[in-house]
Chains A and B, each alone.
Chain A
Amino acid sequence: MNDITTKGLTEREFKVVGTRPLRPDGVDKVTGRAKFGADLYVANMLVGKVLRSPHAHARIKSIDTSKAQGLHGVKAVITAADFSDLPSEFIPAGEMMVNYRDMTRNVMAREKALYEGHAVAAVAATTEAVAAQALALIDVDYEVLPHVIDVEQAMAPDAPLLHDNMYTIGADPKPAKPSNIAKRVEFNLGDLAVGFAKADVIVEREFTTAPVHQGYIEPHACLASVSEDGQAELFCTTQGQFIVRSFCAKLLGMDLAKLRVTASEIGGGFGGKTVVYLEPLALALSRKAGQPVKMVMSRTEVFRATGPTSGSKVWVKVGATRDGRITAADALLKYQAGAFQGSPVQPGAMCAFAPYDLDNVRVIGFDVVSNRPKVAAYRAPGGPIAEYAVECVIDELAKHLKLDPIEFRLKNAAQEGTKAAYGPKFGPIGLVQTLEAARAHPHYRAPLKPNQGRGVASGFWFNIGGETCAALNLGEDGSVTLVAGTPDIGGSRASLAMMAAEELGIALDKVRPLIGDTSTLGFNFLTGGSRVTFSSGMAVIEAARDMVRQLRERAAMIWEIPLDEVAWEDGCARSNSGSTRLKELSLAEIAKTAGKTGGPIVGNAAINAQGAGPSLATHVVDVEVDRETGKVTIVRYTAIQDAGKAVHPAYVEGQMQGGAVQGIGWALNEEYIYNANGRLDNPGFLDYRIPVCSDVPMIDTVIVEVPNPRHPYGVRGVGETPIVPPMAAIANAMENALGIRFTQLPMSPPRVLEAIDRTGLVDKPGA
Chain B
Amino acid sequence: MPKHHVTTTINRDPVEFLCSSEQTLLDVLRDVLQLTGSKEGCASGDCGACSVTLDGRLVCACLVLGVEAQGRSVETIEGMAQGDELHPLQRKFLEHAALQCGICTPGFLVASKALLERNPHPTETELRYWLAGNLCRCTGYDKIVRAVLDAATEMRS
Contacts and interface: CB of A to CB of B under 8 A. Distances in A.
B46 A267 contact: no
A694 B105 CA distance: 17
Given A32-B37, A693-B129, 10 more contacts: A30-B106, A32-B38, A32-B106, A218-B103, A268-B138, A296-B40, A653-B97, A692-B132, A693-B128, A694-B128
A38 B140 contact: no
A693 B100 contact: no
Nearest to A213: B137
Contact of A30 (B34, B90, B133, B136): B90
A217 B100 contact: no
A761 interface: no
Contacts of A583: none
A658 B42 contact: no
A660 B142 CA distance: 11
B101 A266 contact: yes
A650 B95 CA distance: 10
A491 B140 contact: no
B47 interface: yes
A695 B39 CA distance: 23
Nearest to B102: A29
A196 interface: no
Given A218-B39, A694-B129, A27 B141 contact: no
10 contacts: A26-B94, A27-B86, A36-B36, A39-B36, A218-B103, A651-B100, A653-B143, A654-B143, A685-B135, A693-B141
A648, A655, A698: residue with the most chain B Cβ atoms closer than 10 Å: A698
Given A23-B94, A218-B41, A299-B42, A32 B132 contact: no
Contact of A31 (B37, B43, B95, B146): B37
A661 B134 CA distance: 15
A219 interface: yes
A633 to B, nearest CB: 12
A30 B93 contact: yes
A741 to B, nearest CB: 27
Interface string B76-87: 111011000010
A662 B137 contact: yes
Nearest to B134: A693
Given A267-B101, A650-B143, A217 B36 contact: no
A268 B101 contact: yes
Nearest to B41: A217
Nearest to B131: A693
Interface of A: 20, 22-23, 25-27, 29-36, 38-39, 41, 129, 214-219, 265-270, 296, 298-299, 489-491, 648, 650-651, 653-655, 657-662, 684-686, 690-696, 698-699
B136 to A, nearest CB: 7
Interface string B98-140: 0111111110010000000000000001011101111111111
B81 to A, nearest CB: 6
B153 interface: no
Contacts of A696: 140-141
Interface residues of B, number: 58
Given A216-B137, A686-B46, A696-B141, A267 B39 contact: yes
B49 interface: yes
A23, A296, A654: residue with the most chain B Cβ atoms closer than 10 Å: A654
Contacts of B96: 650
Interface in B36-68: 36-44, 46-47, 49
A32 B143 contact: no
Contact of B138 (A20, A265, A490, A695): A490
B43 to A, nearest CB: 6
B41 A20 contact: no
Contacts of B10: none
Contact of A490 (B37, B44, B100, B131): B100
Contacts of B41: 217-219, 267, 299, 685
Given A217-B39, A265-B102, A31 B81 contact: yes
Contact of B137 (A29, A35, A268, A698): A268
A684 B44 contact: yes
B112 to A, nearest CB: 11
B144 interface: yes
B70 to A, nearest CB: 22
B143 A22 contact: no
A72 to B, nearest CB: 15
B25 interface: no
A214 B135 CA distance: 13
B94 A27 contact: yes
Contacts of B136: 217, 693
Contacts of A661: 139-141
A653 B139 CA distance: 9
B74 interface: no
B46 A35 contact: no
B152 interface: no
B19 interface: no
A219 B40 contact: yes
A25, A33, A691, A692: residue with the most chain B Cβ atoms closer than 10 Å: A692
Contacts of A22: 94-95
B90, B94, B140: residue with the most chain A Cβ atoms closer than 10 Å: B140
A699 B132 contact: no
A655 B42 CA distance: 24
A23 B86 CA distance: 15
B137 to A, nearest CB: 5
Contacts of A648: 97
Contact of A491 (B44, B97, B125, B146): B97
A32 B77 contact: yes
